Amino acid sequence: MTSNGLFLRHAFAEGDPGSPVLLLLHGTGGGPEDIAVLGQRIAPSAPLLAPAGPVSENGAARWFRRHAEGVFDEADVRERTEELAEFVHRAREHYGLTDRRIVAAGFSNGANIAAAMTLLRPDVLSEAVLFAAMLPVSDPPWHELTGSRVWMSNGERDPMAPLPAVERLTETFRERGAEVTAHRHRGGHEITGEALERAAAWLNT
């Protein structure tokens, strides 16, 4: 842990104080540097907070462990969600962001941890942009999500985030009162140009 209490390696870029702060969450094998590109595409002037996933899978950084492709270690999902929530709390204090709107934006494994935090810690995160996310915990405890907003993009042919798991995530959000905007594309596990444009428009609503 560093002297400022921020225990995850991260990058931070100050932006327009009138823009929401983007919490950028990379996919498996990514890092703060490459996910910053996503933030610059959907909100070029926004402050960017991009931590690195603390779990190593054969040297590739992730946000939580998994037993196999698409089979998550749900106890670890919950533990790592609490860890990330604590990091966000400390980063808000350290960078003077306590009164600022914060929106998570993540891809794949990063989108899954963002979905988990929206479901499990709505006191920390109430807005998220999710590219290629699926339900990260099979039976999340109930939290009222009225006032939460989620934007999701998924490919109809994504073998890593199959549509039944995507639909369960969408339904779980909506059952709890979250406002969900779902975008589908005909591709697979990817971020399309159209999805980036729609996510950028959603952020401004």
Q: Which are the catalytic amino acids?
A: 108, 158, 189
- Kindly tell me the burial class for residue 126, based on how many C-beta atoms sit within 10 Å of its own C-beta (0-12, 13-18, 19 or more): buried
Plot region of 98 (φ>0 → left; ψ -120 to 50 → alpha; else → beta): alpha
- How big, in percent rounded to 5, are the helix, strand and coil portions of the chain? 35, 25, 45
Whole-angstrom distance, CA of residue 120 vs CA of residue 106: 17
Q: Report the b/e string of 127-152 with b at 16+ CB within 10 A.
A: bbbbbbbbbbbeebeeeebeebbbbb
What are the distances in angstroms from CA 107 to CA 8, 25, 27, 190? 18, 7, 5, 8
